[in-house]
Structure 1
């Protein structure tokens, strides 16, 4: 059977049995025909060495593109294996190109201090504007509790649990988690609660619903401009990243951070381990059991 015939049969199966879309089928055909051309029409009989050489030629491509091409090959050979046309799937022995997660943008401690100084100044006084108290509380919850923008703006009043020590957050996948409230946030919350209209459902009401994510984004950037911080560097997501990074810098446990952020997979949380490498070296030198053992190579102190 020629490569062209094998590819046609594979695509027919993908359309009939798996309901692959027209775009998906076109992408598979393009990837497989390019692979066949690179191997001089010997894709059906290719071995692991052939595929490694093929994938080496994809190094100039984006990682996602190379990964897609390997996926097409794996499914193609799985089809040939099921059909009895091959005894193995050589593509399974090829490592999938890994997509490196981009490091999140974060704010420095100085930037955060400028934002809080401005928000606290605007919310100061015996009768501060309600909008200023709200902005300060929003900032406290973004940076102090690491909430997602969507979670924050849609907080119902009943989300406050216990003695105002926790928030009950309904996050991605409709999963609930408890997020601790800092003492600072609790004090601002106590100032904000009397300013909410009686009977309001939301913690941050606006009209018939709650403030929107877009409005939160705008409010943060306006605050940043007033605080002398580059507005383009500030967003709810950036403050969430700052919460996570600064907490890790302070010695927080990665597992505890995963629970607070509501990450289903700790691999997502591990992106925050990009903290200052010098600090990590200092941490090992100070906290590792070996740090408390005598250095056998160290010169003896002179008398």
Structure 2
């Protein structure tokens, strides 16, 4: 018996959206979400990738269960030619996970080497990290005399103050905001962690909360339409990811920057590091299981390297030897 996967937020099934959707994709998504605790946003992205891959194969007259390795490589090459490196990585991950799951469940009998299909090296696109001065300018752009501006300022302050992921920010419930400026959130992989934030973020969250109910009413929603902290003034009561991304992009463009919600997470880590925070501390605050993952989020500037050389290299003017190494 095939299971039917229900799309997050829409409540519609795959069969309702597309009659030829393979029910085994639904089984795969349910197993992945249940076993690994992936977010609805990640599951939705997987679903879109599977749909595109399946449609491409059907144009060749093939089913995904009988696809050859060469077919997959040709598909990924097409993605490489027309899409960004991050999209290629995401689609490659989706396909590898699909076939690994299908092999474990005896749906396909492909060699284990297929799990490494098309794992070629390619340049990772570097996230542009704004300076602390640019971030301060960004935070001051929202018009806080309006309800929308208050919400935008609160969101931006909290993103920069905590380095939380976009999905984590959007999943905060109203009752989680307490006076001690500490949030207990469920992060990636259903790993719980504590998040702390400063007085600036607390101030703007408090200002926004006073207008939250009015925002819901103005948008035609009930005041109990959602328990999420951040609400929308559109057709959805809860603030959506596409609205968050659009908001940050619009403010960033006014500063001639190209920023995403994830870029603020990088800025959080980078500015902590520039301020002297230990890598282990940054790892803890970001909620990473591996230290090497945290280092990806830190963008070192050439100015930082020059400053380090000036202070710590014996051939530089700013060098001061430790007492234990000085003579006498």
C-alpha distance 224-238 of structure 1, shift in aligned 2 (>3 A): same
2: CA distance, partners of 1:189 / 1:261: 21
Q: Is the 8 A contact 1:103 1:271 kept in 2?
A: no
Partner of 2:239: 211
Partner of 2:270: 245
C-alpha distance 25-117 of structure 1, shift in aligned 2 (>3 A): closer
1: CA distance, partners of 2:237 / 2:323: 58
C-alpha distance 108-28 of structure 1, shift in aligned 2 (>3 A): closer
2: CA distance, partners of 1:284 / 1:272: 24
Partner of 1:229: 255
TM score, norm. by length of structure 2: 0.53
C-alpha distance 151-145 of structure 1, shift in aligned 2 (>3 A): same
Aligned residues: 203
2: CA distance, partners of 1:99 / 1:280: 30
C-alpha distance 224-269 of structure 1, shift in aligned 2 (>3 A): same
2: CA distance, partners of 1:223 / 1:250: 25
Matched, 1:256 2:281: yes
Matched, 1:280 2:308: yes
Alignment deviations for residues 87-126 of structure 1 (CA, whole Å, 9 cap, x no partner): xxxxxxxxx998775543211223212212323xx21xxx
2: CA distance, partners of 1:29 / 1:244: 36
Q: Is the 8 A contact 2:128 2:259 kept in 1?
A: no
1: CA distance, partners of 2:182 / 2:212: 19
Aligned ranges 1:94-243 → 2 under 5 Å = 102-119=125-142, 122-123=143-144, 128-161=145-178, 163-197=179-213, 199=224, 200-206=226-232, 209-225=237-253, 228-231=254-257, 233-243=258-268
Q: How far did 1:280 drift? A: 3.4
Higher RCO (Cα < 8 Å, 6 or more apart): 1
TM score, norm. by length of structure 1: 0.57
